[in-house]
Amino acid sequence: MMTFIIEHLEKKVYPWCVIEYKHISSIVGKKNLWITNNSDTKLKKCARLFRKSVKTMKLEKTCVLDPDADKELKPNDAKKFQYFVFGGILGDYPPRKRTKKELKIKSERRNLGKQQMATDNAVYVAKEILNGRKLSKLQFQDGVEIKTGKKESVQLPYKYVLVKGKPLICKELINRLKKQKGF
């Protein structure tokens, strides 16, 4: 069994976090998703919640997904690891390499390419790889523009995996961006 762990690294659970975590749950299933370093009850419906940090959990067979890691995640890593840890971080552009700084645990690290992805995209890509697809067989798009009005838009500068030719982005997030005109 593979468990996908989001170490929540923001000061609070922002509305965009709830949307993204719910989307991740729809990708991997509630029973396969843990959210650590947080116990906000808004997240109970989409994941197992742990108040403590993954840094204190002493899990074996753990892999941290980090764009700065030297090795790429490969399909055979599904046999080597049981826990796959992602940082729940609002991305900075340009990236500040916060995963490396804030997720210091003794474990191997793998990347999904060197570009920063939204957490839901990173989990989707990892799941695809662990289910047998090579990273080189996935298609990506750099950046997404979300129209929020007749002339207004929001630019999301991250790398997005293409699913059926379209960037993987949650409709609920698009609707929120349109309502609030950005983050």
Residue 174 lies in a domain: no
Residue 90, pLDDT score: 55
Residue 133, pLDDT score: 97
Number of domains in the chain: 1
Q: Which of 77, 171, 66 is nearest to 127 (CA)?
A: 77
Task: Give the pLDDT confidence of 57-109 residue by residue, as tens digits.
Answer: 999 999 999 888 999 999 999 999 999 999 755 555 555 555 556 667 889 99
Residue 155 lies in a domain: no
- The single residue listed with the structure tokens 């995996």 is 161
Residue 62 lies in a domain: yes
Residue 55 lies in a domain: yes
Domain of residue 80: give its range. 3-134
Say how far apart CA 4 and CA 6 lie, in whole Å.
Answer: 7
User: What is the spatial order of strands in the sheet that 108-110 belongs to?
Assistant: 48-49, 33-36, 3-8, 83-88, 62-65, 108-110
Residue 175 lies in a domain: no
Residue 27 lies in a domain: yes
Residue 9 lies in a domain: yes
- Please tell me whether the overall predicted TM-score, pTM, comes out greater than 0.85 for this model: yes
Residue 104 lies in a domain: yes
**The domain spanning residue 26 has which CATH number?**
3.40.1280.10
Please, which residues bridge with residue 67 across strands?
A: none
Locate the DSSP E strands across 76-151. 83-88, 108-110, 140-147
Say how far apart CA 147 and CA 136 lie, in whole Å.
Answer: 30
